Structure 1
């Protein structure tokens, strides 16, 4: 199965494909960097259910987000994220975090939560959620392709 480096390359390729698709759009450098970072985060995210670089990064980001929630006195979001942080420890690898419907739902929910937290940034939240989703889908696609190739070569 692909390692984190392969998934990062897949996230980069996905990001470049997205940029080619939105050529007419004139984003700022900051928006380009944000999209790139969220695409890379998404490309590592599905492996959050095993000991991996993605899991380490997930917990670092979750900790920083929890600190922000406490700073802004958003106890509701703090409790929700605190409970969600335990989910990767309770599921099997290539389970729910590798399901396309779950990744789409997660991206949508995160966009909605950010919209409720900072309504003026709803467009920003949606764009970043879409970049994250694209990266996560590249991860799932790479896993499926390598699984099929491995099966094909073993069968021969």
Structure 2
């Protein structure tokens, strides 16, 4: 079973590949700030399935969530900080390699990134889709490296 370094590396490679494909077919124009956010989400997606164990990946994931939460609070985005907190607690209710290592969790866990902004702020799905896809890409890379498919 790969460690957190392999999962982080795999997510970066997968994220860059997906980004290059989208740029190449004209579906995405590179914005450096957004690319940084997308890569962070990709890495968080890759670390998420293993945060139900005591590991370096878990500490990295929660450190990233803490920084993201503090940034949201700094920018007075309290609702998003609360939603992020709820998402971060989900793995604590299952055993290792339980629901967090399934293909359906890969699609459902990041779903709040699409649904909440749509219903709370009325944002369009195309605006939100890159963030969702970044997390799913990282998650997919984790499951692929763990040979879950």
TM-score range, shorter chain: 0.7 to 0.9
Select the residue among 137, 151, 155 that pairs with 2:140: 137
TM-score, L = length of structure 1 = 0.73
Cα displacement string for residues 14-44 of structure 1 (whole angstroms, at most 9, x for unaligned residues):
0122023111232212222222221111111
CA 1:65 to 1:56, structure 2 compared with 1: closer, same or farther past 3 Å?
same
Cα distance in structure 2, aligned partners of 1:37 and 1:66: 14
SS in structure 2 opposite 1:10?
Answer: helix
Q: How many residues align?
A: 144
Is the 2:117–2:123 contact (alpha carbons within 8 Å) kept by the matching residues of 1?
A: no
Cα distance in structure 1, aligned partners of 2:40 and 2:124: 17
Aligned-residue offset at 1:88: 2.1
The RMSD of aligned alpha carbons is 3.0
Bigger Cα Rg: 1
SS in structure 2 opposite 1:93?
Answer: coil
Partner of 1:3: 3
- Higher share in helix: 1
Aligned-residue offset at 1:59: 3.1
Q: Does 1:110 align with 2:95?
A: no
Cα distance in structure 1, aligned partners of 2:32 and 2:90: 35
Unaligned ranges ≥5, structure 1: 149-156
Unaligned ranges ≥5, structure 2: none
Partner of 1:28: 31
Partner of 1:53: 56
Cα displacement string for residues 69-128 of structure 1 (whole angstroms, at most 9, x for unaligned residues):
7x5564x983x6655544322311111111110120112233212333443475443211
Aligned-residue offset at 1:61: 4.7
Is the 1:44–1:53 contact (alpha carbons within 8 Å) kept by the matching residues of 2?
A: no
